[in-house]
Amino acid sequence: MSRIGKKPVELPSGVSATVSGQTIEVKGPKGTLNFSATDDVTITMADNSVAVEPRGQSKRARQQWGMSRTMVANMVKGVSEGFKKELEINGVGYRAQLQGNTLKLNLGLSHDVDFPIPSDVTVSAPKPTQIIIEGIDPQRVGQVAANIREWRKPEPYKGKGIKYIDEYIFRKEGKKK
- pTM for the predicted model, two decimal places: 0.87
All structural domains of the chain, each given as residue ranges with its CATH number in brackets, are 3-80 (3.90.930.12), 83-164 (3.90.930.12)
Other CB atoms within 10 Å distance of the CB of residue 130? 15
Whether the per-residue pLDDT at 2 is higher than 70: the answer is no
Question: Rounded mean pLDDT of the chain?
Answer: 92
CA 115/CA 98 separation, integer angstroms: 10
Sign of the C-alpha dihedral computed for residues 69, 70, 75 and 80 taken in this order: positive
pLDDT digits (tens, 9 = 90+) for 115-126: 999 999 999 999
CA 33/CA 49 separation, integer angstroms: 16
pLDDT digits (tens, 9 = 90+) for 70-120: 999 999 999 999 999 999 999 999 999 999 999 999 999 999 999 999 999
Q: What is the pLDDT at residue 177?
A: 80
